[in-house]
Chains A and B, each alone.
Chain A
Amino acid sequence: MIFLFIAFTALLLLGLPIFLAMAGSAMAVVAWDGIPLGVVAQRVISGVQSFPLLAVLLFTLAGSLMNESGISDRLFAFTRAIVGHIRGGLAQTAVIGNVFLAGISGSSVADCAATARVFVPQLTRAGYGQGFAAALSASVATLGPIIPPSILMVIYAWQANISLGDLFWAGVIPGLVMAVALMIATGIVAARRGYPKDDAFSVARLWAAFKHAIWALLMPVLILSGFRAGVFTATEIAGVAALYALIVGKFIYRTLHWSALPRILLATAKETAVILVIVGAAAPFSWILGIEEAPRLIAEAVKQLTSEPWVILLLLNVVLLILGMVMETIAIMIILVPILIPLLTTFGIDLTHFGIVLLVNLVIGQLTPPVGVLLFVSSSVSRTPLAMLLREMTPFLVALIATLMMLTYLPSLSLWLPRALNH
């Protein structure tokens, strides 16, 4: 096990893509142990031959089709009509807008790019600091993987063998709590700096914006209703969501053109492949950890340290936050979840609750240097120097870490909704 992790770390530090680092380290161990190399290939292939994982491809497609239809602009106009009139209203629009955007796209990177593209120029023109605008765009994008649909949730539910529908519903309240925390942080900064507000609230403007956004707003309702019905698989719901996005973009909003479809299909195929090839490469990696009984050894070692679930959760939060600073989200999830599940089960920690805690940790990791993908996306899209952006991150990180602690120690925030709907 130690050799596996040393080899993996060395290959990562050499700058290899994560899937090659995983496959390479697994092959080194397999070759060392005299196991036929064909086993590694067989594990990599069977690691991706899964019908539930198709939901990743189709939810990504649905999100891309919606984005291509200019949906983010409609959602932002709608949310501006709701909160634009309060102090720092344009910044609050970015927060609420991302709640709705998260209900469509499921990818924090896509949400961050859309938010930074739309909001950083507008906020800067309205007198907000550019660093603040870019930091806000990165921070609000963390709602993407928490509010359903979520690509990370699809992968976690598949790994942990839990209901994806339950996990999707479990993300709703935590996502809203995160949004409120980000609104509070934004509100405090806006009040201190005297950031502007829009004209007074107008019902007519809200109604007009609502009518423009209604079809987009219905997409998360469609997805969650599909899970609520309990008869459709996640992949089928994702397929129908993609069809819905196509119909809305092409025939209702009329902003999606047939000529754009090949580009969208190609981009989403590659985006999905980049994620799922890591899932495939992780299969022999996890198989070796299983053979060497790593999950059991770790569970026993932790049991000797403590028998209190709240201490375990605290330790996991610390470890995940540190890992999130230095490793990529998918890699952390794919390596750690198979190892952690026996530990969590031993201590009676609900896997759906832990899924939400894990995802919140991972999205905070996307905001922390040196490896914080949302920092780079926001910085690059908005052409804001990283140092300027980083100086403005503190209030958002404080808000998100406070939310993480709430979600960790108040499991009902995650579990109440799925349990209420199942009874």
Chain B
Amino acid sequence: MGSLGRAVVPPARAPGPLARALVRADDAAAKVEDAFLIAAHAVIALLVVAAVGFRYVLHDPLTWSQEFIVGLFTWLIFIGAAAAIRSRMHIRIDALGAVFARPSWSFMNWVGVVVGTLIVAALLWAGLLNASDIRGVQTPMLDVAQVWFDGALPVALALLLLHIVRILVERDAAAVFASQLENLDAAAGP
């Protein structure tokens, strides 16, 4: 989401040796994310259609499918949210984007990144606390540990942190949460 005051996303800069290692790790994570999202989406779509066939045509509903689909859907949403930061797809309101683009105010981009990273880290911690709280809880239909479903949040947030650091290293603070709608010319993400 953009506003009339558009933030300017700087172009990528050449990384040093440590940064290159980080970029490689992030690229590997990105490949796994993308492969997972494609597979999960395909499985969800196929299962929903198959469930319709089993329920209305064969009159033999796949009773386990709904819980499995919702679990996979949970993973798709959180991993998708982590992946979306790479594609600059997250929705934000850059009402002060033009102000923060001025040299005297550019430190506010760093404030935003620090605060945003702290929120991601706190939510990751909250996700781990939740995972610990639900140890021993089983899902009603599949009878698997609930943590297999709820673990999506902390895993996705860890990936999100990795992507944030990568963008920060490769570009700068203004680019971390920038949306592709704000500056199309610089929208090609890492």
A residues near B, CB below 8 A?
A: 11-21, 23-24, 27, 36-42, 44-45, 48-51, 53-54, 57-58, 61, 231-232, 235-236, 238-240, 242-243, 261-262, 265-266, 268-274, 276-278, 280, 326-328, 330-331, 369-371, 373, 376-377, 380, 386
Pull 8 A–B residue pairs with CB atoms less than 8 Å apart, ordered by A: A14-B111, A21-B92, A40-B126, A57-B44, A240-B52, A243-B45, A270-B37, A370-B3
Q: Are A49 and B83 in contact (CB under 8 A)?
A: no
Segment 96-155 of B: residues with Cβ below 8 Å from A? 96-97, 100, 108-109, 111-112, 115-116, 119-120, 122-123, 125-127, 129-130, 132-134, 149-150, 152-154
Q: Are B177 and A376 in contact (CB under 8 A)?
A: no
Q: Are A277 and B52 in contact (CB under 8 A)?
A: no
Q: How far is the CA of A14 from the CA of B49 in the complex (A)?
A: 43
Q: How far is the CA of A240 from the CA of B57 in the complex (A)?
A: 13
Residues on B with C-beta less than 8 A from A57 are: 41, 44, 73, 76
Is B19 an interface residue, CB under 8 A from the partner? Answer: no
* Contact among A41, A48, A273 for B129, CB-based, below 8 A: A41
* Residue in chain B with minimal CB distance to A327: B93
* Residue in chain A with minimal CB distance to B79: A273
Is B14 an interface residue, CB under 8 A from the partner? Answer: no
Q: Are B93 and A328 in contact (CB under 8 A)?
A: yes
Q: Are B45 and A61 in contact (CB under 8 A)?
A: yes
Q: Are B74 and A48 in contact (CB under 8 A)?
A: yes
Nearest-CB distance from A378 to chain B (Å)?
A: 11
B residues near A, CB below 8 A?
A: 1-5, 7, 34, 37-38, 40-42, 44-45, 48-49, 51-52, 56, 66, 69-71, 73-74, 76-81, 83-85, 87, 89-97, 100, 108-109, 111-112, 115-116, 119-120, 122-123, 125-127, 129-130, 132-134, 149-150, 152-154, 177, 181, 184
Q: Are B115 and A24 in contact (CB under 8 A)?
A: yes
Residues on B with C-beta less than 8 A from A61 are: 41, 45
A266-B115 contact in complex given A42-B133, A54-B44, A57-B44, C-beta closer than 8 Å:
no
Most buried by A among B81, B94, B122, B181: B81
Q: Are B37 and A266 in contact (CB under 8 A)?
A: yes
Q: Are A236 and B52 in contact (CB under 8 A)?
A: yes
Q: How far is the CA of A370 from the CA of B115 in the complex (A)?
A: 24
The 6 closest A-B pairs by CB, nearest first: A273-B80, A38-B129, A239-B48, A17-B90, A24-B119, A277-B81
Q: Are A269 and B40 in contact (CB under 8 A)?
A: yes
Residues on A with C-beta less than 8 A from B127 are: 41, 45
Nearest-CB distance from B150 to chain A (Å)?
A: 5
Nearest-CB distance from A285 to chain B (Å)?
A: 13
Sample of 19 more A-B contacts, CB < 8 Å, known A40-B126, A243-B49: A14-B112, A15-B93, A15-B100, A16-B115, A16-B119, A17-B85, A18-B90, A37-B125, A44-B123, A45-B127, A49-B71, A54-B70, A58-B45, A236-B52, A239-B49, A240-B52, A269-B41, A277-B81, A373-B1
Residues on B with C-beta less than 8 A from A39 are: 126, 130
A16-B116 contact in complex given A42-B130, A269-B41, A371-B1, C-beta closer than 8 Å:
yes
Q: Are B37 and A49 in contact (CB under 8 A)?
A: no
Q: Are A23 and B77 in contact (CB under 8 A)?
A: no
Q: How far is the CA of A13 from the CA of B52 in the complex (A)?
A: 45
Q: How far is the CA of A351 from the CA of B75 in the complex (A)?
A: 32
Q: Are B112 and A15 in contact (CB under 8 A)?
A: yes
Q: Are B152 and A45 in contact (CB under 8 A)?
A: yes
* Contact among A21, A44, A270, A380 for B89, CB-based, below 8 A: A270
A270-B84 contact in complex given A19-B90, A326-B93, A370-B95, C-beta closer than 8 Å:
yes
Q: Are B84 and A50 in contact (CB under 8 A)?
A: no
* Residue in chain A with minimal CB distance to B181: A376
Q: How far is the CA of A285 from the CA of B83 in the complex (A)?
A: 24
Residues on B with C-beta less than 8 A from A21 are: 92
Q: How far is the CA of A373 from the CA of B93 in the complex (A)?
A: 10
Q: How far is the CA of A278 from the CA of B51 in the complex (A)?
A: 28
Q: How far is the CA of A376 from the CA of B77 in the complex (A)?
A: 26
Nearest-CB distance from B84 to chain A (Å)?
A: 5
* Contact among B40, B93, B149 for A49, CB-based, below 8 A: B149
Q: Are B51 and A236 in contact (CB under 8 A)?
A: yes
Residues on A with C-beta less than 8 A from B100 are: 15
Q: How far is the CA of A274 from the CA of B111 in the complex (A)?
A: 23
Residues on B with C-beta less than 8 A from A261 are: 42
* Residue in chain A with minimal CB distance to B184: A380
Residues on B with C-beta less than 8 A from A44 are: 123, 153
Q: How far is the CA of A328 from the CA of B90 in the complex (A)?
A: 12
Nearest-CB distance from B42 to chain A (Å)?
A: 6
A27-B90 contact in complex given A14-B111, A42-B133, A272-B80, C-beta closer than 8 Å:
no
Q: How far is the CA of A373 from the CA of B4 in the complex (A)?
A: 10
Q: Are A265 and B48 in contact (CB under 8 A)?
A: no
* Residue in chain A with minimal CB distance to B185: A380
